[in-house]
A = this chain, B = another copy of it.
Amino acid sequence: MARPGIESIRRQQLIDATLSVIETHGFQGATIGKIAAASELSVGIVSHYFGGKQGLLEATMRYLLSCLQQDASRLMASRPSNPRESLMAIVDANFSGVQTHAQSAKTWLAFWTQAMHSPELMRLQRVNERRLLSNLIFHLRQLMPPGPAQATAQTVAAMIDGFWLRAAMSEGRIEPDQAAALCKTYIDQAIKANNGASK
């Protein structure tokens, strides 16, 4: 038998190569050949570890989702339990990935597009969307009535997606710090506009 753990190493190699190739060549240009070349492995290895190209793409999206979730958990843990601060942490978490991986925004957009015609990717996307939304509602609920909380949560979620989209389109011209700041400004405005009406 060969070294144990070699499987997870190869899997990660291929996922990293996939992200890199999508970043430079786009989703359409992400062929098995290019991914294999970028990972310095052979084309056959993809079928061996992921069963095929589709399996590799799904694994790559799962990886991106898990990174996002990890960012969120880390930032939530290091903050006070103040509801407003928690909301700010959620915003930060949703933009922190952009800085470290400039390629992420483009790749996300590519996956979203692909996800619309792939049930499995669609399911993953929906789960993640639900989590963000219910997280936002939970904290907003402590600052305003249910109605405005629901509306504000949906608005914040749309803003986050919108800024990601713009970041992807403008080749990193839009600063993630700026996007996060605008989201936070909105949250404060929404709190001010609805506070005291609850409790």
Residues of A whose CB lies within 8 Å of any CB of B are: 25-29, 106, 109-110, 112-117, 122, 125, 129, 151, 154-155, 157-163, 165-166, 168-169, 179, 182, 185-186, 189-190, 192-193
Contact = CB atoms under 8 A, between A and B. Distances in A.
Contacts of A25: 117
A192 B194 CA distance: 13
Contacts of A110: 113
Contacts of A192: 193
B185 A151 contact: yes
Given A158-B166, A186-B186, A189-B193, 18 more contacts: A25-B117, A26-B114, A27-B113, A28-B28, A109-B112, A109-B116, A110-B113, A112-B113, A125-B169, A129-B166, A151-B182, A151-B185, A154-B182, A157-B162, A158-B165, A162-B163, A186-B189, A189-B190
A159 B114 CA distance: 22
Contact of A182 (B26, B125, B155, B163): B155
Contacts of A26: 113-114, 116-117
